[in-house]
Structure 1
Amino acid sequence: MPQRISIQGAVTIPFQDQTLPKQPIIYRTYKTRYIGLLAIVILNIASGFVWLTYSAVPAQAMAFLNCTGFVINLTSILYFIAYVLMTPISGWMCERHGIQRSLIFGATLQIVGSWIRFVGTLVDSTPQQPEGRLALTLVGQVIAAAAQPFFMNVPPKYAAVWFSEHGRATATMIGSVSSSFAAALAQLVVPAITIDADSVKRTVLICAIISIAALFPNLLIAERPPTPPSPSAAEALLRTKEEPFLISLKKALTNPQFLLMMLVFGTFTACFSSFTALIAQFTAPYGYTSSEAGYFGAAMIFSGLLGACISVPLLDKFKHFNGFSKIMVIVSSAMFVTLIFAIRRNLSGGIMAISVILGISGFSVLPAGLEYGVEITYPVTPASSTSLLWGFSQLLTVIFLIILGVLQNDDLSATKGINPPMIFIAIWAIVFGVVPMFMIKIQYLRAEAEEAMRQREKSCHQQQEVPLAREC
């Protein structure tokens, strides 16, 4: 009869080997892990192009679809709404059916939605009868939007299974910020290839082709490595059945420290997302063009990507997620406060400088927050904590977009220099970002568990008993 292994925090499962090894498990990583990470990045890039196909070129899109600006904004808002609705499903599928199947399912949704949009471009549309093209466009946009959480929620889970403790945060950073990189890239490329209303059809076709191309790298992903890269990954690899997703969600939602982290993460994600989306509206009363506003947003995104590439590998080495996040949320909040006074006429240099600092501080918080969310909820599965963090942040973003739209007052901004949306963002960032961040207690449960398992393995080996993850 096969022996049974008991793992703390996991189910009891049979171990099939008749003779248990007498040597410690050797943790190793495989170069193929980068294939999966690249596949996630490519999917996020494709998602960014599909998401911003119309909102990156509103004038051309309105002429092509014969619709109002509200409908063009709706194509973007649908992505946030669909994300909130599909986040629980994507998390459940990732845990139940595995990373590869979850990614392939999301990629398939994106392909179907993208090609429905293209079919819509073949339908005649006039100002008197725009319904057919518009209906297919919105249906395709909703289906494609439903795919996004399958790509954005998976990086921490993939990093936990394939990367060691010295590379997890970097892998999470690359996978997570790829969606922001995609948005910046789409904002540059889509306007360049969409010259007029007639070229919108070509752009939609290109995005549909990109969605198909993004599927193929996922076919090369292995579900899990042959041997574990870390003690926590070894524990996950020994399980034959993951903990039910709803139970994992319940554990995370009843963790006070995680709830604080969720509020902080959601606050700053919503602040950055809404600021990026509406920066043209915030600056227009002061005489800045849409192109200039685009430069501010691009500066924030690209500087943020550069800052994350530098800071997150250091986090991988030193593991000070909590302390680092506190510093970054203070800097970010200070920049939002400064923008209240900096968004003025003929101060483009100052706005650009603040955007750069804001990008560096803000984008560094995202991967650090995702990794710290996994740490303080361990042994809850990474897909559960990540789904909650991203889902709440997207819901908050939708609420922000509505509130900021109501608060926007061009006359007040132009005559008295008062910018109500920026005041709202700054106050919210301080009250619901900085304050809760300093209420979070330092907890590195996964790191502590891994160190305990390493010590246990060493002790068991000295006693010539079974090594890691088996009862000594």
Structure 2
Amino acid sequence: MDLKHSASGAVESADSYIASSKSTDMITPKDKESKENNKSANAPAEGYKVYARRWAVLILFVFYSASNAMQWIQYTIINNIITRYYGISDKWVDWTSMIYMILYIPLIFPGSWFLDKVGLRITALVGIVGTCIGAWIKVFSVDPSLFYVSFIGQSIVALAQVCILSLPARLAAVWFGPDQVSSATSVGVFGNQLGVAVGFVLPPMLVPNSEDINQVGSDLQMMFYLVAGLTSILLVLMAIFFQDRPPTPPSAAQEESQRLEGMVEEQVSFLQSLKNLMTNRNFIFLLLSYGINVGVFYAISTLLNPVVLKYYPGHEVDTGRIGLSIVLAGMLGSVVSGIVLDKTHKFKETTLAVYALSMVGMWIFTFTLDTGHIAVVYLTASLLGFFMTGYLPVGFEFGAELTFPEPEGTSSGLLNASAQTFGICFTLFYSELFYSYGDVPANVAMALMLIVGTAITAATRSDLRRQNAQVAPCAAAVNP
């Protein structure tokens, strides 16, 4: 798609900056030598530009991502209500969450290849179409004998997430300058967290635990219609407004990436890119540590309903709100982490600090569930969420740094695949421990896993390749 001009034909406003500057202030090099150093086929001579429309693209992506993520936990957060209405076991309800993880794993490689070949816009449109279709199928599943229809709809929505989870780092790199890319990634991940937050709080509010089974069916119908209508609106907005890339690259690193894409003799095949990533020792360490952290979060989120109701029976709405507290605190943690990364560029140090504090938060959460005061659970769950879900964009950005110039979508996809794999294993393991021995052994096992992850993070070297690519043009400009 040709994005060299806005739809109206008018010149679009943009912030321009010199690649060697640590700021995105509007600075224009004045001497001829600076112009020559910054000149390229894709970037204007006066410097790199970031376009105002980048925020519209990012915000639209946030809501698109949220519309898919909100359906992940839609059933498990009202586990006891779903099992009673459809007459199924707890395990089947758990599978409505795990299907997201299971389907993602085999599709991550074709999904990453698809993103590299067709770009952001087409990939995002495929994702929103799938999310919308799956949501509408659920509308026709409201009958105690039609759980399989609901599961089919959930599976289609889960398939669509392949066209979502790998996009934040790619979108940030394509549209944002070097001093905003980490913050933009955190905002992109924020969309997924926003959806999970809505998925925690909305179902218990819309589908209360009524004794009348027909009333439960009517409430489910209302919830499904609401979600389907929202995704339909987003489908129209995405088709009209979501764009692939700006007219010119926003940074030296992105210019170099686009230059390599345009040179057939220097293009690296998708399989070669995968080989490069899988032989990168530091990235392998990050794959393991990232998978452990996010896998623990998936397990806790999936089993949150029975864990909280064990100590606080009848508090289904509070269970959803506790989940909401976890995710809202994680959103704040994501934003704070993104700002810290943009200001300090201390990727290894920030990653290790956030990971270690996630582990501490898990221990605190484990031994405060039985205090008898549900307000304490709100507090400790929020502390856990601030660091555990706040780690998501940090891991994405650290991965992009360790693997540059490999496509951000591929590295992000592998990180998500690792998270889904650990998520499946940890959810099954956590469920078995919880139903057989109780919540304390299950939570202690997860806390021990986070200790392992912290140690792996500490062993990962800080090889900041993307930062070095930003510095290289600066050195060339100073020493031509």
Shorter chain as normaliser: what TM range?
0.7 to 0.9
Q: Which has the higher mean CA deviation after the structures are superposed, 228-237 or 98-107? A: 228-237
Matched, 1:321 2:347: yes
Q: What residue in structure 2 maps to residue 149 of structure 1? A: 162
Partner in structure 2 of residue 258 of structure 1: 283
Secondary structure at 2:203 match in 1: helix
182-191 vs 438-447, which moves further: 182-191
CA distance in 2, matches of 1:280, 1:53: 12
| Aligned AA (2:283) | F
Counterparts of 1:97-108 in structure 2, within 5 Å, are 97-108=118-129
Supply the distance in 2 between the matched residues of 1:74 and 1:446 (Cα, whole angstroms).
Answer: 39
Verify the 8 A CA contact 2:169 2:397 in the aligned structure 1. Answer: yes
User: What are the within-5 Å matches in structure 2 for residues 394-409 of structure 1?
Assistant: 394-409=420-435
Match of 1:46 in 2: 67
> Which residue matches 2:91?
70
* TM-score under structure 1 length normalisation: 0.84
1:308 pairs with one of 334, 338, 360: 334
SS at match of 1:146: helix
Match of 2:467 among 436, 443, 447: 447
SS, match of residue 342 in structure 1: coil
Candidates 211, 215, 225, aligned match of 1:205: 225
Q: Which residue of 2 aligns with 1:232?
A: 253
Q: Which moved more, 1:27-36 or 1:282-291?
A: 282-291
Amino acid at match of 1:375: E
TM-aligned CA distance change 1:252 to 1:321, over 3 Å: same
Structure 2 portions without partners, runs of 5+: 1-34, 39-44, 209-215
The residue identity in structure 2 corresponding to 1:149 is: V
CA contact (8 A) 1:296 1:351 kept: yes
Q: Which amino acid aligns with 1:329?
A: Y
The residue identity in structure 2 corresponding to 1:97 is: V
CA 194–339 in structure 1, closer or farther in 2 if over 3 Å, else same: closer
Task: Give matches, 1:207-226, under 5 Å.
Answer: 207-219=227-239, 220-226=241-247
Q: CA deviation at 1:243?
A: 3.2
CA drift of 1:376 comes to 0.7
Q: 1:57 & 1:438 partners in 2: Cα distance?
A: 38
Q: Deviations over 1:100-152 (max 9, x none)?
A: 0000111112222222332444xxx45xxx2xx33322222211110112112
1:34 maps to which of 47, 55, 75: 55
Structure 1: which 5+ residue stretches go unaligned? 1-20, 461-472
- Do structure 1's residue 178 and structure 2's residue 198 form an aligned pair? no
Cα shift at 1:295: 3.5
Tell me if the contact between 1:300 and 1:358 (Cα under 8 Å) persists in the aligned partners: yes
Q: Secondary structure at the match of 1:35?
A: helix
Structure 1 residue 459: Cα displacement = 4.5
Cα distance, 1:272 vs structure 2: 1.7
CA distance 1:31–1:255, shift in 2 (3 Å):
same
> For residues 295 and 206 of structure 1, do their structure 2 counterparts lie closer, same or farther at Cα, with a shift above 3 Å needed?
closer
Cα separation, 2, equivalents of 1:303 and 1:158:
24
| Deviation at residue 87 of structure 1 after TM alignment | 1.8
Return the letter of the residue paired with 2:337: S
> Is the alpha carbon distance of 1:135 and 1:445 closer, same or farther for their aligned partners in structure 2, counting shifts above 3 Å?
same
What amino acid sits opposite 1:108 in the alignment? V
AA aligned to 2:233 is A
Once residues 295 and 203 of structure 1 are traced to their aligned partners in structure 2, the CA distance between those partners, rounded to angstroms, is 17
Partner of 2:391: 365
The aligned residue for residue 301 of structure 2 is 276
What is the TM-score of this pair, normalised by structure 2?
0.83
1: CA distance between counterparts of 2:96 and 2:303? 15
Deviates more, 1:381-390 or 1:340-349: 340-349
Cα distance change of structure 1 residues 287 and 62 upon mapping to structure 2, 3 Å threshold: closer
Q: How far 1:64 sits from its partner (Å)? A: 4.7
1:346-375 deviation per Cα after TM superposition (whole angstroms, max 9, x unaligned): 243443332222222223321111101010
| Separation in 2, partners of 1:224, 1:448 | 23
Code of the residue aligned with 1:72 in structure 2: it is V
Q: Distance in 2 between matches of 1:86 and 1:346?
A: 44
- Give the whole-Å Cα distance in 2 for the aligned partners of 1:138 and 1:361: 32
Cα pair 1:330 1:434 within 8 Å, conserved: yes
Equivalent pair of 1:408/1:420 in contact (CA under 8 Å): yes
For the residues of structure 2 that align with 1:54 and 1:443, how far apart are their CA atoms? 41
Preserved CA contact (<8 Å) 1:408 1:421: yes
The alignment yields a C-alpha RMSD, in angstroms, of 2.2
Aligned residues: 426
Give, in whole Å, the separation in 2 of the partners of 1:340 and 1:448.
41
Q: Which stretch of the first structure deviates more once superposed, 328-337 or 451-460?
A: 451-460
Deviation at 1:63, TM superposition (A): 4.9
